[in-house]
Chain A
Amino acid sequence: MAEATLEIVDASAGYAGRIVLDAIKLSARKGELTAIVGPNGHGKSTLLKAISGLVPVTSGEIYLDGLRIDRLRPDQIVERGVIQVPQGDLLFPAMTVHENLLMGAYANSDGLAERLDFVFTLLPKLKERRNQTAGTLSGGERRMCGIGRGLMAGGEVLMLDEPSLGLAPIVIEQIYEVIFNLRREGRTILLVEENAERIAEHADMIHLLDNGRIAWSGLGAELMARPEIVETYLGV
């Protein structure tokens, strides 16, 4: 079994005294695609924010390659290679695509040109749009730009929060093609997705998050073989 890259040990987190995540225990292993599925509003995005240091972890620990990171500032967590592509992209709308990509490399600008080449090769549409302001991109292009910006950071762990949200089916296919390519290249990916069917075949491990707790963990095929879980939690 691969060495654990990101390990969350009984972590609880929340906002202003309200606990959203309750004793979460999971790990994202090196070079694997780990998926978090579950209904809306049950803590999936909060989990990524807690890992990124945007939401305080009130108890438990989070480790990256054995190093505790849950007491670090968001910028320190990024410097250690944990990169998040947030839900809704959160691009810098008045900046060009190129500037957005440069912001991705803000914490680590080593090999900037090579990384830019890599992103433009993987996402050629961004090269065409490099001088266009991000606020004028289409939904799919914005998502590509968000992923490209995340890749520019050159991090160890890439966390993607619902990359298919609000996109047309054909664009979702393109986005997932990119994600699965990254996984094949050996990137460690932690993916939040509402639609379990979409990632069941490709994910190395799936965790079902319900009401701030891990309700079930297993392989994608195992999840799809449990219709009662899929129906109850995911409404498929």
Chain B
Amino acid sequence: MDVLIQIVASGLTLGAMYAVATIGLSLVYGSLNMLNMAHGAILTLGGYICYAAIVHAGLHPALALLAAAFVCALVGLMIYFSAALPLLRAENFETNIFIATIGIGSVIENLMLKGFGPYPIPQPLAVDGQVVIGNVHIPLQNVFILGVAIVLMVGVAILLQRTSAGRAIRATSMNREAAQLMGVRVGRIYAQVLALSGALAAVSGIMISSIATLTPVMGGDPMLKAFIVCVVAGLGNVYGAVVAAIALGLLEAATQYVLGVRWSFATLLLLVILVLIWRPYGLFGKQQVVRL
């Protein structure tokens, strides 16, 4: 029983971090058909901004988190205006933006390397203490991460389902031309989605670095896993991504316990291959049912 509690606790923490890392990626793909390869670098930048805001600027951790989210939202806007907007006007947008964001990610990574150095730095935004369930000691940091992730996921769900702006984002992702005919300014929606994705990546980066350490290349692994979650859920399916992220987090924790840490990533990749064979459009990215 204790083992199960430990696996569930670790799995939920991992899944919550993957979910927050994936939501932004999925939103951007769903709206713009854009695979944002700079997502991992933005995520790392969020972690460093939070670190700098607390250690160098002396800000309260909550303000540091907001500052990181704000800066990364601005980076998202910068990506829209400097790369996505001009490339949207040309052909082969999906390929061109894929390559462009690899370049942007590389620039951000190198700026962090220059600014903070290559050595691991601990993230000061940490919660001390632990919760005891049976014989299992769960760090409060993990509970905090889960709590923040739930708040963010609920917030994004309310935004998308209950607000006019959220409906416009969903409408644009379903049919750009129809959204324009409803009076939606799609360029503004794209900018908003990239800014929101940047802010979510920042929070994700802070959470991940709070249980590991900050390095300029730390975003690579979570971005790869976010892509795995996106593929398993179905590219662009935000709600499916949350469920898939939690499930993959639990699977990863179970694999690490049963088979060992070195098998966890291989298991995720095997799962992706199986999903792509069984349902090429993802577990939740079901083919559109339209009566003819």
Contact = CB atoms under 8 A, between A and B. Distances in A.
Interface of A: 52-54, 73-75, 78-79, 83-84, 86, 90-95, 99, 102-104, 106-109, 135-139, 149, 153
B177 A135 contact: no
Given A75-B180, A75-B185, A103-B182, A92 B289 contact: no
A99 B167 CA distance: 8
B180 A92 contact: no
21 contacts: A52-B180, A54-B177, A74-B180, A75-B180, A75-B183, A75-B185, A90-B177, A90-B181, A92-B170, A92-B175, A92-B179, A93-B174, A93-B288, A95-B167, A99-B167, A103-B182, A106-B168, A106-B171, A109-B164, A138-B291, A153-B182
Contacts of A108: 183
Given A103-B168, A106-B167, A135-B289, 4 more contacts: A92-B170, A92-B174, A135-B288, A138-B291
B181 A74 contact: yes
Contact of A102 (B167, B175, B184, B290): B167
B170 to A, nearest CB: 7
A54 B186 CA distance: 12
Nearest to A77: B183
B181 A52 contact: yes
A103 B185 CA distance: 13
B1 interface: no
A104 to B, nearest CB: 6
B178 A92 contact: yes
A94 B291 CA distance: 13
Contacts, number: 81
Interface in B177-214: 177-185
Interface residues on B, range: 20 to 34
A45 to B, nearest CB: 11
Contacts of B167: 95, 99, 102-103, 106
Contacts of B183: 74-75, 78-79, 106-108, 153
B292 interface: yes
A28 to B, nearest CB: 17
Nearest to A85: B181
Given A102-B167, A103-B167, A106-B164, A139 B182 contact: no
Contacts of A52: 180-181
Contacts of B290: 93, 135-136
Contact of A106 (B174, B182, B288): B182
A131 to B, nearest CB: 13
B148 to A, nearest CB: 28
Contacts of B181: 52, 54, 74, 78, 83-84, 86, 90
Contacts of A54: 177, 180-181
Interface hub of B174, B177, B181 (most chain A Cβ within 10 A):
B181
A90 B178 contact: yes
A14 to B, nearest CB: 17
Interface in B249-292: 288-292
A92 B176 CA distance: 10
Contacts of B292: 139
A94 B171 CA distance: 9
A99 B288 CA distance: 18
Contacts of A91: 175, 178
Contacts of B175: 90-92
A106 B177 contact: no
A138 B292 CA distance: 7
Contact of A75 (B164, B170, B184): B184
B177 A94 contact: no
Interface in B139-159: none
Interface centre among B178, B184, B292 (most CB of A within 10 A): B178
Interface centre among A75, A86, A99, A153 (most CB of B within 10 A): A75
Contact of A95 (B174, B184, B289, B291): B174
A136 B291 contact: yes
B170 A95 contact: yes
A75 B179 CA distance: 9
Contacts of B291: 135-139
Which 8 residue pairs of A and B lie closest in terms of their CB atoms, listed nearest first?
A: A107-B183, A78-B183, A90-B178, A74-B180, A75-B185, A92-B174, A75-B183, A106-B182
B289 A136 contact: yes
A112 B164 CA distance: 13
A108 B182 CA distance: 10
Contacts of A149: 182
B100 to A, nearest CB: 23
A91 B182 CA distance: 11
A109 B165 CA distance: 13
A70 to B, nearest CB: 16
Contact of B182 (A73, A93, A104, A138): A104
